[in-house]
């Protein structure tokens, strides 16, 4: 049952590297008492965001930090298998993010220090039926991924998302902005060219 998605889009390496440049200096602050940052990439693709946050770009010398332990989710069987072959150290889940949330969110709730994602911008479609949680019925995939993942973070955890610019400026996104910003603090936003 291998398939690739016609609309697959992989984060440009320059964007992934820029995100890593901002996040890597914060890893020691995101680590738990054991020095481990528990991190999730819910739409991993080929893993460019995870790759960018590893050596040599991301070397953390702070003694509070030991390692980042990644979990990753990918809908495309082809991309998931390629990523798993390149990164056997990552807990890889080949399924929709909705299915993963339905099956695993309770276990991960309040354990993640970091979420990094470039979620799809389209509609959730048939996958929306896989997560029946009444609080997360967003139609837009990016809104669902962002809201659902942010709510898995530990207090003072960090969520980094590449999302449409209209999230912060569009009049049609006012309710979505309110829902996110009433629960989470916006640290910084950048508009990509």
* pLDDT, tens only, 28-40: 999 999 999 999 9
The pLDDT, as a whole number, for residue 52 is 96
* Residue 84 exposure: Cα atoms within 13 Å on the Cβ side: 13
184: its two tokens: 């989470």
Question: Do the Cβ atoms of 69 and 87 come closer than 8 Å?
Answer: no
The pLDDT, as a whole number, for residue 125 is 87
Burial call 108-131: b when 16+ CB within 10 Å, e when fewer = beeebbbbbbbbbeeebeebbebb
**DSSP H/E element including 154:** strand 153-161
The pLDDT, as a whole number, for residue 3 is 47
Q: For residues 108 and 123, what is the distance between their CA atoms, to the nearest angstrom?
A: 25
For residue 69, what are the β-bridge partners? 38
Please name the residues in contact with 123: beta carbons below 8 A apart, sequence gap of 6 or more: 139, 140, 141
Question: Do the Cβ atoms of 115 and 152 come closer than 8 Å?
Answer: yes
pLDDT digits (tens, 9 = 90+) for 137-177: 999 999 999 999 999 999 999 999 999 888 888 788 889 99
């Amino acid at each position: 049952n291998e398939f690739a998605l016609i609309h697959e889009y992989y984060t440009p390496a320059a964007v992934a590297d820029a995100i890593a440049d901002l996040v890597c200096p914060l890893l020691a602050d995101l680590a738990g008492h054991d020095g481990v940052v528990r991190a999730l990439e819910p739409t991993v693709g080929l893993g460019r965001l995870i790759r960018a946050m590893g050596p040599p770009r991301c070397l953390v010398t702070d003694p509070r930090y030991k390692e980042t332990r990644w979990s990753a989710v990918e809908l495309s069987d082809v991309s998931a298998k390629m990523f798993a072959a390149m990164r056997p150290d990552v807990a890889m889940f080949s399924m929709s993010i909705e299915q993963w949330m339905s099956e695993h969110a309770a276990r991960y709730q309040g354990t993640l220090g970091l979420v990094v994602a470039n979620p799809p911008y389209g509609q959730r479609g048939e996958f929306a039926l896989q997560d029946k949680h009444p609080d997360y019925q967003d139609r837009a995939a990016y809104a669902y991924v962002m809201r659902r993942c942010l709510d898995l973070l530990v207090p003072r955890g960090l969520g980094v998302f590449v999302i449409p610019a209209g999230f912060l400026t569009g009049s049609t996104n006012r309710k979505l902005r309110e829902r996110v910003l009433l629960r989470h603090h916006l640290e910084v936003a950048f508009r990509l060219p």
